[in-house]
Amino acid sequence: MDLTLKIWRQKNKNDKGAMKSYPIKNVSPDSSFLEMMDLLNNELIEKGEDPVAFDHDCREGICGSCSLYINGEAHGPDRLVTTCQLHMRKFKDGETIHIEPWRANAFPVIKDLVVDRSSFDRVMNAGGFVSVNTSGNTQDANATPIAKDDADKAFDAATCIGCGACVASCKNASAMLFVSAKVSQLSLLPQGQVEAKRRALHMVEQMDHEGFGNCTNTGACEVECPKGISLENIARMNREYLSASITSKS
């Protein structure tokens, strides 16, 4: 496949940045999108040019770091896959592909296609954990029966990989799908009840503090989420937050 890549190049956070065009030839339709980017970078390095900076780690849909906006869609045109799982056969020979970083005030660009997503870490630090004692007299997991439906929903929420596609695809740059998945995976289980109120309050407060927008029920986040996280989680988080606001002081 011969392609034209239009890629966002930005030297650093303060640089204005611009789209730059790169022709690329002989791309295998069976290569992954990131392998195609590797090919381009090898060519740029051979020419003595600065390679395109992009984030990646596991390359198997687990770590959530490969965050690219491809032809106007977070993680590209395929459904329920991350950029690293996207294959070039999803594109046509001769096509022009636009590649941009996530765009949100809370995700400032570090360089080219790499954004700073430490705002997500700070939201997690605000309450995305349980403080149950796990040593000394550890209970058998089966000693606390959990309804199958609740366990399934908790596991589904726990598949969120923190990629940020929900934020990037939302017109308000809202992080509600991410935060609600993290709140839900704990609030649906007995182990998560101890800090449930504090968690909902503190994580939502931190989310607002980081500058993410609010949810207006557009649903783009659910469509673009590579893990199929459901909007149902947002409704659950809203209920938790409301109830915690009324009944809690901290």
Contacts to ligand SF4 by CB under 6 A: 160-166, 177-178, 181, 225-227, 229
Report the partner that residue 65 touches, choosing among ligand SF4, ligand FES, none (CB closer than 5 to 8 A by kind). Answer: ligand FES
Binding at 127: pick from ligand FES, ligand SF4, none (beta carbon under 5-8 Å per type): none
Cβ of residue 229: shortest distance to ligand SF4, in angstroms? 4
Closer CB to ligand SF4, residue 27 or residue 162?
A: 162
Q: Which is nearer to ligand FES, 75 or 199 (CB)?
A: 75
By a kind-dependent CB cut-off of 5 to 8 A, residue 82 interacts, out of ligand FES, ligand SF4, none, with ligand FES
Distance CA 201, CA 127 (A): 9
Structure tokens at 95: 């096509």
Identify which of residues 34 and 201 has a Cβ nearer to ligand FES in the complex: 34
Residue 63: which of ligand FES, ligand SF4, none does it interact with, CB under 5 to 8 A by kind?
ligand FES
Q: Which helix (H) or strand (E) holds 166?
A: helix 165-169
CB of 158 vs ligand FES, minimal distance in Å: 15
Which three-class secondary structure state does DSSP give residue 144?
A: coil
87 contact partners, CB below 8 Å, separation of at least 6: 29, 30, 31, 32, 33, 78
Partner that binds at residue 62, options ligand SF4, ligand FES, none, CB closer than 5 to 8 Å by kind:
ligand FES
Residue 57 binds which entry of ligand SF4, ligand FES, none, CB below 5-8 Å type-dependent: ligand FES
Euclidean distance between CA atoms 59 and 83, whole angstroms: 9
CA atoms within 13 A on the CB side of 220: 19
For 238, how many CA atoms within 13 A lie in the half-sphere containing its CB? Answer: 12
Closest by CA position to 40, among listed 57, 20, 60: 20
Q: Are 129 and 202 in contact (CB under 8 A)?
A: no
Binding positions for ligand FES, rule: CB under 6 A = 56-59, 61-66, 82-84
Report the nearest approach of ligand SF4 to the CB of residue 178 (Å): 4
Closest contact distance (angstroms) between CB of 162 and ligand SF4 is 5
Nearer to ligand FES, 113 or 189 (CB): 113
Q: Which residues contact 221 (CB under 8 A, 6 or more apart)?
A: 165, 166, 167, 169, 170, 174, 176, 177, 229, 231
Q: Which is nearer to ligand FES, 91 or 241 (CB)?
A: 91
Comparing CB distances to ligand FES, the nearer of 199 and 227 is 227
